[in-house]
Amino acid sequence: MSATEAGFGILTMATPGDFRKAIGLALSLRASNPGVPLAVACSPKARPLVARHFDVVVDEDPSLRGFEHKIHMDRYSPFVETVFFDSDVLVFKPVWPLIQAWRSHPYMACGELMTEPMCRLNTVVRTSSFGMDRIAVMQRLGKPALTVIDGAGHAYFRKPACQPVFDMARDVTRQHKQLIGDIPFADEDVIDYVMTAMDIPPAPWANFFSRHLSGSPGTVRMNAVRGECRFVSATTGEVVEPCMMHFAANEVPFAYHRQLFGLFRAHGLSTEGLLGQCLNDWYLRRIRDRLSAMKRRLLRAI
Q: Per residue in 112-131, pLDDT tens?
A: 999 999 998 887 789 998 99
d(CA 279, CA 274): 9
Average pLDDT of the residues in 141-167: 96
Q: At what angle do helices 187-197 and 134-141 cross, to 10 degrees?
A: 30
d(CA 239, CA 158): 32
Please check whether residue 153 is in contact with residue 85, taking contact to mean a CB–CB distance below 8 angstroms.
Answer: yes
Residue 4 pLDDT: 54
d(CA 229, CA 221): 6
Read off the pLDDT band of 147 (50, 70, 90): very high
SS3 of 77, please?
A: coil
Please check whether residue 188 is in contact with residue 128, taking contact to mean a CB–CB distance below 8 angstroms.
Answer: yes
Please check whether residue 102 is in contact with residue 156, taking contact to mean a CB–CB distance below 8 angstroms.
Answer: yes
Mean of the per-residue pLDDT values of the chain? 94
Q: Per residue in 59-94, pLDDT tens?
A: 999 999 999 999 999 999 999 999 999 999 999 999
Q: Per residue in 205-216, pLDDT tens?
A: 888 999 999 999
3-state secondary structure labels for all residues of 281-293: HHHHHHHHHHHHH
d(CA 185, CA 67): 7
Strands 81-85 and 112-115: unpaired
Strands 89-91 and 81-85: unpaired
Tell me the DSSP string of 174-195.
Answer: HTHHHHT-SS---HHHHHHHHH
Q: Per residue in 217-273, pLDDT tens?
A: 999 999 999 999 999 999 999 999 999 999 999 999 999 999 999 999 999 999 999
Question: Exposed, middle or buried, 123 (CB in 10 Å: 0-12/13-18/19+)?
Answer: exposed
Q: Helix %, strand %, coil % for the chain, to 5?
A: 45, 20, 35
**Percentage of residues in the chain with pLDDT exceeding 70?**
97
